[in-house]
Structure 1
């Protein structure tokens, strides 16, 4: 047996191979606490925005046109901080934004990288938060939040290894804090969370009640959902008079001459702060925006400050980290049986002072917000298709690398929020556009390989996306007589989808996957888009339904332009007497002014109006709160909302076989189509709006859409939290503190709406919901009303740092924005919520549409049929209606899969039940051979009692029929790393880190895995 042991050990070293110097032993960074004194935890940090006043690259390089007042270079922060830490083992620093760390790491030598690993291993450099960026919590969707945390964790694993796994959330600058985001933090395995911005009245009350440390009940659906949460006594920057950074013009260095004075001054400040907390611990930041570019100056002064308190009778001042602070507080809470107060909702809206509600950014830069949502949609489809490509033998998945990163940047709290300079917005768009183009490059060949009947087929289907179809531009569909349409369904259930394509022809023939001829409608476009940029715009839209798209599957359609004029062409004509659209099941009516009067959903009729209004944005000075202006952050209307027009300039309709549409032209700024589709599952009314070139006088203009119904909701309404949990709101009311709603009656009642807003009439047992296609601000300011802000153009800067007026211009005009709202009506018994959840997922992850030129002989229909199937199914069966496959993507030498239960407790009698999913034989291309449960961020294994034997039997191939049934509770997300029965799982996506260390951490992990397998075998033999 001893011989077998040494054989195993020898095999381990043979497999592991040479690696760079690294020590995986993680040392606790926490210094001893003095239980007899107040412990002041100094946390050196640099808050580095991934774009704001300068672009991501300018911030990293320390360049850019705004360097005169934003002299920030992140590379110098990391360079000098690593050197300063290495000089003194007592020092501590936290690193937060992985996007910058990755950019810096790629420029370093092996010697520097080993130094960083040593600092991480011994606890001097602690990786905190760990996401690609510090994301916003109002406008970001949960799928994108999870993705960008996962990608950040991945980079940390591949660079600094095990000791760099983040344990604490650090959300110090987002403009308000979300309950769902806190729930995500809990599910990532975080031990605590540090937040920064909450309403000044809330903060004042918490200070008075010693409530800056508290327990946040992040999710009512889970048994273990409480997360320790804390905040600073003031703000996230160094205390006034104790900022020693080169960026601090008022800071005073500590010298032998002034040390006593500085200690006294600091202690007096702590005399105030110690009353804010229940324990003998104070959390104090040392740093701020882009500080520590010359780190030794900072650290040398902090060293002196700590030394000055060495024998202080009251205060123990020490280098610390958020994890050490939380550890100390928890220990004291447990020891002294201290009860921390609890919170259950969120921290929206945020007001920094009077008249300053940060609710404008919920809507700011609506085009950018929509582009981000499109990027996520394409990323999920690309990840799925790339997974199938890897399964089929293609190891290259680098096409999705840039999109992962660009989407991580877009979640930043000065990106998705729209609170950055215009030049930075343009750079974000440039990054995302380039990443999307890179991601879609191989998709045509991937789809070809999924559909081909024989291995030797090499025809190029020439498939590509049409990202400009929203302004009626798509060269292939406009200018080719024959073209292919591939429709990929990213959902794990069968769906039907209406494909809308810009065309210029008069008559078409569409052939479906089963050789059937597909019915279509041909409609005029909603707008003469040539007025926007003078491009080659189509005049019509071709609309057909792609029925029963298989889960994670693809259907191919063949479109031919034919002679003659189609009977399916429905030209817009003036509305005269017929003012009903749709049918008895789903439809709407308009009045003689062309505006909505009623909707019918599933046969139930509701009186409801929809109209556009605008607020005059205050154009006051940003010098003080009393004269605060509306701007990128702040929404401060000057008076009540003004109706755009009592009567429409144009009211037209078109009735087709698939869809009825009413076109409304309000004026040169606003055009809208109200439409109802005629499928049996299309129980909603769509509002397709175009708003732009907003004209202002001496004030800003902030446009809203308002729905006014007979619903009596008694001041109660519901908004989603990042697309998941529903949060109850009450007009003019806060759960934790009192405020005067008359100060700002509109903006104080605005909340972030990422996915939907709902009002309910408990007497009539009905609910009305409006779903949106991007993050927006809105609320219910009167009973029966729902309003959503769609566009903003202001006159003044609001004075919160961006130093630029929110005034988007494109092609010489105020920016035009196009978007959709989806209005639906249902019962409060749960059936309404079920449909809303289903619709939200269908609109979030719409089928990916790709088109290809089919005018060549090899792409004639008869030849295509010989070589290709026109349908591919990714799953053998749809998942249950309450389960979504949230993630399917390649991951190193394996894959990630996430399953989520999409309903909350008590949301619906049936759909809110626990549900079991059998992963055995679920996928068409592969079988799962090993399934490892991991935390939400995919960076930590979740150990269960059966894990060891399960891993062992799978490794030794003793069981090919392992139980792969997974049970999900309401709102639960389960994450897995899995391998398959195909032999190409080893196609690892190297090259993420520039090749100075040959992925040494990945090698070490593989080596460790082999050791576990071999030692397991030895265990069985013994």
Structure 2
């Protein structure tokens, strides 16, 4: 047992009654950070014709009602709205709110900038948005403000890694609203709606176990007890009115409470009193709850054993802890989620794939922006390019984690607004990056950014005969990265930071890419070269056009594929079927293994409802009308062509007029790159379509496949099976789909085939030896989950959205596969970033304009250690997170503990002191005192926090350690390599 303490500040919890059934009423509002309206519209109450909601009025009204009656309680979760409201308040109101928080009458729960989705969010972005929210609460509302309870009441399924993050941040418990209807029904029977969730098999149980409670009514009030202005239930009428209904309301409430208690184990139950955007007129709610509490408790004089009180989740959690019970243990996750037969919420794993990619890229760029702001200091924020600012992108990325943002389950206008906010953040961060690179390199070059390289457009490289490419690498180890830039010349020379020539090639822009950007736009060729950049640093490459050659040539279709039908490099050989043009085999030359792999694109017809169920496929729901997908290619043979040179070999495949792929091998790369382009998805036949890329192999997988949890832990999946409850499968495809944030793989006893994704997608193995990922969807019907419009996504030209993405395919032995997919997934997520500048004219010489190569680290980090966060805090302090990115027992070499010397880590500044912080970065690690819960399997063992030796910081598998670093900048210029 942990030492006795109150869950918040002293005297914060109302008294309960031993021997009674204590009903904890938890007044709350659930305020989506964008969904049917934009964030601004929701906050100010604009567009009430779409949805009546005005968050500013909710907070105004709630604070007034809490002040009016000291016994009342309220909880609030969405810091993005709270921060916006806070900025508009006078100091007297702020002081009032701080007092309400200190007294426990206003409890902040969750703590994130938004209530993040858990299926399609990456753990890095999840940490960012939680840290942003918790930091605001502690800074503005005081030490009692950061939550001790996670409040994930609306996300559509719950992940292991999200729960692990809450546990490692010091939360005492987690409350969920949505779990599968079959799972919930069975838990009600077993009285296991409250449980202990072991969120990591690698970490100590006390650090990873998280008490988890499943709420009785998702997050709504009991039927008949909704007293918001948006509701129509009758109020409590007492006194001598002929409408007096106290007896009926009290009796109904006692029946509800008694029945609910049958599914829970203690004499305490929780009831959520509120819902979406409730409490705009808080008096309605509180006045009726005041009466309910008084009249129900008055029945105790007549022998009732029910006691009702205003409460909060942490007060309720405290009472459960005091019961000193042991709790059932769960070690898997809560995916997929279904709220009824044929109603699997697995479509949103892929919905709005372009927004999902933009969000992923934005967090990548945010990390680069934060690192350079930390390394360059004030010069990054106030430099020659203008005022740089990372906060705009940080807040936009945090909002994008919301469970109706990156999920793709919002209205189209709202999706456009999310993208707009991200774009505004990019602009501010690009100024900051330019300032930082100017300061670190000592150059006054005019840096520029090419934001349309995905369709090979970059005005600088197309117009210039000479330019500079500066490649910044945010990883803690050197990386080699292919650079592709549109050019109008036919021959170029490239030199590295030391003036040495770098092999390069000019290749034609593909017909597909040329068509995407319009036939009159952009260059006809691309310059390709392999660039290398040091750990946490940059390398500068100089590109000069050769004086000969026609500056413009028409687009060239790559030559027809000759025999043999293969592409290869020193690591891999990929073979294609000469009759059909499909991928047919992959060989790992170093490991002397080969695997037949057939890959193609298919679509599922989206159900519009049938005799079994009226449920249609939509933004949330995936429901195909048949378990057999239809090939995109109308014939067995697909159109193919080939590009081969010293740097790249690639086969171009055209499956249809709207679906194509490039299968690519760069020199030196140990994976096959599949660059797919899909759309506009045709719907003229009246069918919505869900497009998949499927890989078929002879691997004997025995119904098992593996997916990641938020890009971190790996979970085994079994077809038509759930580890902790008995599944009655109603949808053989959708019911086996899982979120794939970064990777999915299948294996037998010897060989593993892994696919890495560049964004979150839905994926599965529908039959043994197969693996599939849904890449795009276009649907004609709403799925009746509230968004009120079909997922059509017309795109800029109104013909339908075209999406381009990448899958990286790895073939390896089972023993060695983890080392490959862990490192490649981090490279894909934290990709190097190219920044360009003019070359300086004919007199330009490499090296004359500043530092050509730079690393902020004295030495590379070991491969198993990832520099997760480097961000500025106050003057002279940085927030540093290091993580061990392997699980225990996953790799014979890489799953070993690693020891780092923090004081000798950085080359640009001298660390003077280090304080270890909680994972959220908002409080010292030794200040955390979590409630310790007892699993049914036996007592949990607590381990004290060891004293920090910054010269010997050891990271065990799956550890993330967070430090507040105090430093001094050296007087000399930053050191290069």
Alignment partner of 1:903 out of 886, 897, 902: 886
> Which position in structure 1 is the counterpart of 2:825?
840
- Residue 626 of structure 2 is aligned to residue 631 of structure 1: no
Aligned residue among 764, 775, 783 for 2:768: 783
In the other structure, the counterpart of 1:664 is: 653
Does the 8 Å contact 1:480/1:855 carry over to 2?
no
Mapped partners of 1:52, 1:877: distance in 2: 46
Residue 361 of structure 2: SS of its match in structure 1?
Answer: helix
Is the 2:382–2:435 Cα contact (8 Å) retained in structure 1?
Answer: no
**1:250 aligned residue:** 233
Indicate the SS of the match to 1:399: coil
Structure 2 CA distance for aligned equivalents of residues 849 and 647 of structure 1: 40
| Contact 1:711/1:784 (8 A) holds in 2 | yes
State whether structure 2 residue 711 is matched by structure 1 residue 728: no
Q: Does 1:699 align with 2:687?
A: yes
In the alignment, what sits opposite 2:134?
153
Deviation at 1:448, TM superposition (A): 2.0
Alignment CA distance shift 1:27-1:867 (3 Å): same
287, 294, 307: which is aligned to 1:316? 307
Match of 1:746 among 710, 733, 752: 733
Partner of 2:664: 675
Secondary structure of 1:173's partner?
coil
Match of 2:940 in 1: none
Structure 1 residues 262 and 474, CA, compared in 2 at 3 Å: closer, same or farther? Answer: same
CA contact (8 A) 2:569 2:666 kept: no
How many angstroms does 1:918 deviate by? 0.9
Partner of 2:969: 982
Q: Distance in 1 between matches of 2:585 and 2:820?
A: 20
Paired residue secondary structure (2:954): strand
**Shift of the alpha carbon at 1:254?**
4.2
Q: List per-residue Cα deviations over 1:983-1004 (Å, max 9, x = no partner).
A: 89xxxxxxxxxxxxxxxxxxxx
Q: What is the alpha-carbon distance in structure 1 between the residues aligned to residue 376 and residue 654 of structure 2?
A: 46
Residue 27 of structure 1 deviates from its aligned partner by 3.3
Out of 962-971 and 361-370, give the one that drifted further. Answer: 962-971
Deviation at 1:706, TM superposition (A): 0.4
Aligned partner of 1:326 in structure 2 is 317
Of 431, 446, 462, 1:441 maps to 431
By how many angstroms is 1:189 displaced? 0.4
136, 141, 144: which one aligns with 1:163:
144
Output the CA distance in 1 between the equivalents of 2:782 and 2:707: 28
List runs of 5+ in structure 2 lacking aligned partners: 1-7, 929-947, 972-977
Q: 170, 173, 177: which one pairs with 2:154?
A: 173
Would the aligned equivalents of 2:380 and 2:388 in 1 still touch at CA under 8 Å? no
Query: Secondary structure in 2 aligned to 1:626?
Result: coil
Q: Mapping of 1:393-408 within 5 angstroms?
A: 399-408=389-398
C-alpha contact 2:109 2:149 (8 A) present in aligned 1: yes
What is the TM-score normalised by the length of structure 1?
0.88
* Corresponding residue of 1:956: none
Equivalent pair of 1:177/1:348 in contact (CA under 8 Å): yes
Matches of 1:393 and 1:655 in 2, distance apart? 42
Instruction: Compute the displacement of 1:619 (Å).
Output: 2.0
Deviation at 1:395, TM superposition (A): 7.2
Q: Please say if residues 913 and 967 of structure 2, whose CA atoms lie closer than 8 Å, have aligned partners that are also in contact.
A: yes
Question: Which residue number corresponds to residue 29 of structure 2?
Answer: 46
What's the C-alpha RMSD, in Å, of the aligned pairs? 2.1
Q: Which runs of 5+ in 1 are unaligned?
A: 1-24, 946-960, 985-1022
CA–CA distance in structure 1, aligned partners of residues 534 and 329 of structure 2? 45
CA deviation after TM superposition for structure 1 residue 251, in Å: 4.5
Aligned to 1:81: 62
Q: Which residue of 2 is the match for residue 132 of structure 1?
A: 113
How far the C-alpha of 1:855 sits from its partner, in A, is 5.2
Partner of 1:86: helix, strand, or coil? helix
Corresponding position: 1:57 with 2:57: no
SS in 2 for 1:162: coil
Partner of 1:870: 852
SS at match of 1:627: coil
1:68 aligns to what? Answer: 49
Pair 1:806-2:791 in alignment: yes
Could you tell me which residue of structure 2 aligns to residue 824 of structure 1? Answer: 810
Contact 1:648/1:665 (CA < 8 Å) preserved in 2?
no
Q: Residues 196 and 119 (structure 1 numbering): CA distance in 2 closer, same or farther, change over 3 Å?
A: same
Q: Distance in 2 between matches of 1:179 and 1:394?
A: 37
**In structure 2, do the counterparts of structure 1 residues 527 and 196 end up closer, same or farther at CA, with 3 Å as the change threshold?**
farther
SS at match of 1:182: helix
The equivalent position to 2:586 in structure 1, one of 599, 608, 629, is 599
- CA change 1:393–1:447 in 2 (3 A) is closer
- Structure 1 CA distance for aligned equivalents of residues 954 and 529 of structure 2: 38
Q: Is structure 2 residue 905 aligned with structure 1 residue 922?
A: yes
Q: CA deviation at 1:869?
A: 2.1
> 1:427 and 2:409 equivalent?
no
Could you say which residue in structure 2 is the equivalent of 1:886? 868
In structure 2, the partner of 1:644 is 632
**Secondary structure of the residue that 2:809 maps to in structure 1?**
strand
Q: Does structure 2 conserve the Cα–Cα contact (< 8 Å) formed by 1:488 and 1:554?
A: yes
Distance 1:475 1:450 in 2: 26
Distance across 2 between alignment mates of 1:28 and 1:462: 59
1:867 aligned counterpart, secondary structure: coil
Partner of 1:280: 267
- Cα distance change on mapping 1:641 and 1:545 into 2, 3 Å: same
**Is the CA contact (8 Å cut-off) linking 2:381 and 2:432 kept in structure 1?**
no
Q: Which residue of 2 aligns with 1:268?
A: 255
Distance 1:254 1:672 in 2: 67
Relative distance call for 1:393 and 1:689 in structure 2 (3 A) is closer
1: distance between equivalents of 2:233 and 2:485? Answer: 60
Deviation by residue 1:331-356 (Cα, 9 ceiling, x = unmatched): 01x1xxx3211100000000000100
Matches of 1:395 and 1:876, distance apart in 2: 27
Equivalences for residues 960-971 of structure 1 within 5 A: 963-971=950-958
Q: Secondary structure at the residue paired with 1:688?
A: strand
> What displacement does 1:391 show?
7.3
Contact 1:353 1:625 in 2 (8 A): no
Question: Which digits, 9 at most, give the CA deviation of each residue in 1:342-397, with x for residues without a partner?
Answer: 10000000000010000000000000000001001101111111111117796798
Query: Shift of residue 252 of structure 1?
Result: 3.1
Offset at residue 258 of structure 1 (A): 1.6
Task: Name 2:564's counterpart in structure 1.
Answer: 578
In structure 2, the partner of 1:953 is: none
Contact 2:585–2:595, Cα closer than 8 Å, also in 1: yes
Equivalent residue for 2:707? 719
| Counterparts of 1:96 and 1:141, CA distance in 2 | 21
Q: Deviation of residue 503 (structure 1)?
A: 2.1
Q: Give me the whole-angstrom Cα distance separating, in 1, the residues matched to 2:433 and 2:612.
A: 52
Alpha carbons 1:575, 1:652 under 8 Å: kept: yes
CA distance in 1, matches of 2:812, 2:459: 41
Q: CA 1:530–1:828 in 2, change beyond 3 Å: closer, same or farther? A: closer
Does the Cα contact within 8 Å between 2:587 and 2:595 map onto a contact in 1?
A: yes
Distance 2:693 2:824 in 1: 20
Cα separation, 1, equivalents of 2:511 and 2:246: 70
CA offsets, 1:71-128, max 9 Å, x none? 0000000000001001111011111000000000000001100110010111100111
Q: Give secondary structure in 2 for the equivalent of 1:967.
A: strand
Deviation at 1:61, TM superposition (A): 0.5
Distance 1:542 1:566, change over 3 A: farther
Structure 1 residues 475-484 or 743-752, which shifts more? 475-484
Which 4+ runs in 1 deviate beyond 6 A? 391-397, 566-571
Between the two proteins, the alignment pairs up a number of residues equal to 922
In structure 2, what is the equivalent of residue 545 of structure 1? 530
Measure the CA separation in 2 of the matches of 1:473 and 1:255: 71
The answer to whether residue 326 in structure 2 is matched with residue 339 in structure 1 is: yes
Confirm or deny: 8 A CA contact 1:570 1:654 kept in the other structure.
no
Tell me, yes or no, if the aligned pair for 2:441 and 2:851 is still in contact at 8 Å.
yes
TM-score relative to the length of structure 2:
0.92
SS at match of 1:557: strand
Query: Hey, what's the Cα distance between the residues in 1 that align with 2:26 and 2:662?
Result: 54
- Equivalent-residue separation in structure 1 for 2:462 and 2:382 (angstroms): 35
